[in-house]
Amino acid sequence: MNLLNIFTRYPDQEACIEHFERVRWGDDPHCPHCGSTHVARKSERQKIGRWNCHGCKSSFNVLSGTIFEKTRVPLQKWFMAIGLIVNAKKSLSSCQLARDLDLTQPTAWYMQQRIRAQMATKQGEILLQGIVEADETYLGGKWLGRRRGFYRYWGPSHTGRCP
């Protein structure tokens, strides 16, 4: 999905929260603290997406327990950051992400670290099932001899030796 699609699908914070509620809970919202399904929306108009749990008497939102928890960055920028990181050919620096999304560099770095950590968890592996296509992948390296004692990773190995 490109940035234009993200921007048109999720034009504001409310649209992002509605989408995230559908993806995370579907038709069965539950408390992230106790797991109770006896929950109800808060009636306060200024706090969009807040829920009350009647089991543990806590207040929560759909972002509780996720990488978006306690963030001040709008969800639209988070979605765009995920799109930029996933669609980057090699990698994306935090400085470039900060320029693209009009953020400070430390904020962009923090977002990158959270997104990458989530991609590395077991939950990220659930999405990659069946046939997965990976373009421009290099395995191994070019052997430079015993004197140097290490491999130089310039591209595919022609000798078939791997470290």
Residue 3 maps to a domain: yes
d(CA 124, CA 88): 18
Buried b vs exposed e over 47-80: b needs ≥16 C-beta within 10 Å?
eebebebeeeebebbbbbeebbeebeeebbbbbb
Please indicate, yes or no, if residue 61 is contained in any of the structural domains: no
Q: Given this model, what pLDDT does residue 30 score?
A: 84
Residue 89 in any domain: the answer is yes
Report pLDDT for 102: 92
Cα separation, 38 vs 62, in Å, equals: 15
Residue 86 counted as domain residue: yes
Q: Give the pair of three-digit tokens for residue 28.
A: 């069965």
How many domains does the chain contain in total? 1
Which whole-number Å values give the CA distances from 146 to 143, 154, 159, 160, in the listed order? 8, 17, 14, 16
The reported pLDDT for the residue numbered 26 is 83
pLDDT attached to residue 163: 43
Q: Is residue 95 part of a domain?
A: yes
Residue at 79 is within a domain? yes
Q: Is residue 143 part of a domain?
A: no
For the chain, residues with pLDDT lower than 50 are 149, 153-155, 157-163
* H or E stretch at 48: none
Give me the domain span that covers residue 95: 1-12+67-117
- Structural domain contains residue 34: no
CA 84/CA 12 separation, integer angstroms: 18
Looking at residue 162, what is its pLDDT?
Answer: 41
